[in-house]
Chain A
Amino acid sequence: MNQLKNFTKGFFKENAVFVLFLGLCPTLGVTTSAINGLGMGLATTFVLVMSNLVVSIVKSQIPDKVRIPSFIVIIASFVTMVELLMQAYLPSLFEQLGLFIPLIVVNCLVLGRSEAFASKNGVLSSIIDGLGMGLGFAMALTILGGVREVLGSGSIFGYKFIEGDGMLVFVLAPGAFIALGYLIVIINKINKKTA
């Protein structure tokens, strides 16, 4: 029960994007379509789970003072792995996400979970926490990407169902801010009702 709660908190109550406002740069930068959002979300999930796993294993060996730099090195190693794997197996997605793949290193969500959760909890709970938070992040990115894709180009996951171009502004930069702003309003409303 406790682990289940640990897993599901990342989706609604502590959703990284909609509630905690962490990791906003990739959220806005790559969500021009649902598939890009999903790809970025899953890449971040991988880094999050692996860094949580390693941090929770080695946490007692790391002196408190050099904690943050050590976490960053661990995270950066996994980010480099993701970067190389994507370049080899998903070159088109890699092209689309571009700069934001190396920037997973400075995603405050990843470092935040290492610092706030994995450095204080056991291996299993850390993996579950990373998985829940990561998938919650992926969900948020996919929703935002989906909304922008539907409004901006009239398609979803690349499948076109409206003729014509749609509202181009939602694919461009301003649409990202506006769509996310209104999504947060909706989430605020829902959270207030259930709370």
Chain B
Amino acid sequence: MEYIIIIISAIFVNNIVLAKFLGICPFIGVSSKVETSIGMTGAVTFVMVIATIVTYLLQKYVLDAFGIGFMQTITFILVIASLVQLVEIILKKVSPSLYQALGIFLPLITTNCAVLGVAILAVQNDYNLLESVVFAIANAIGFGLALIVFAGLREHMDMVNIPKAMKGVPIAFVVAGLLALAFMGFAGLV
């Protein structure tokens, strides 16, 4: 039951993009086509889950054990940066086709604050290892849902006749606002 609450809450009620404002850069940046946003979602899911597991173990057995919690930010960002690099190297060897598909998105993930945000939130919420993993997967799904729905909307927006000053990013923000408004309808679900 706890896990279901974590999943529903992370995907719909506290959606990572539309309610918590994490990962806005890729949300605005790569959401112009549905296809690329699916690729981005795959890469983010992959890194987010692994990063959360590694940072959880580090927090528990290194930072907490030695009482150096103030090193959290530096440790986590280094872990994520090297993890992205590692994933890139491994994928290149093991599955060239997947590497081709995710290729350009992998380096972008280091600066995706959703990954660091989820890792820190999992620690702050006092989740155990399994809960942290579920939390990371659910947030990745929430990120993907918002990104893909938004990309679908933007594909249609290209054909709409709007004032010139609103073209591109401004209209994207206004539409994102309306999407966030729609997601607010899920509030109170859990």
Size category of the B interface is 35 or more
Q: Is the interface of B mostly helix, strand, loop or mixed?
A: helix
Given contact pairs A21-B28, A172-B184, A181 touches B172 in the complex (Cβ within 8 A): yes
Given contact pairs A69-B78, A80-B71, A174-B180, A106 touches B112 in the complex (Cβ within 8 A): yes
- Contacting B121 at CB < 8 Å: which of A99, A180, A184? A99
Q: Which residue of the partner chain B has the closest CB to A184?
A: B170
Q: Which of A99, A106, A182 has the most CB atoms of chain B within a 10 A radius of its CB?
A: A106
Given contact pairs A102-B116, A185-B165, A173 touches B18 in the complex (Cβ within 8 A): yes
In the complex, whether B42 has a CB less than 8 A from a CB of chain A is no
- Contacting B28 at CB < 8 Å: which of A24, A76, A111? A24
Given contact pairs A99-B117, A102-B72, A184-B170, A176 touches B177 in the complex (Cβ within 8 A): yes
- Contacting B77 at CB < 8 Å: which of A24, A28, A76, A192? A76
Bitwise interface map of A from 54 to 84 toward B, beta carbon under 8 Å scored 1, else 0: 0000000000000011001100110110011
25 contacts across the A-B interface (CB closer than 8 A): A21-B28, A24-B25, A25-B22, A25-B25, A68-B110, A69-B81, A69-B82, A72-B81, A73-B74, A76-B73, A80-B71, A80-B73, A102-B76, A103-B116, A103-B117, A106-B111, A106-B116, A173-B21, A177-B174, A177-B177, A181-B173, A182-B174, A184-B173, A185-B166, A192-B165
A residues with a Cβ closer than 8 A to B are: 21-22, 24-26, 28-29, 68-69, 72-73, 76-77, 79-80, 83-84, 99, 102-103, 105-108, 111, 169, 172-178, 180-182, 184-185, 188-189, 192
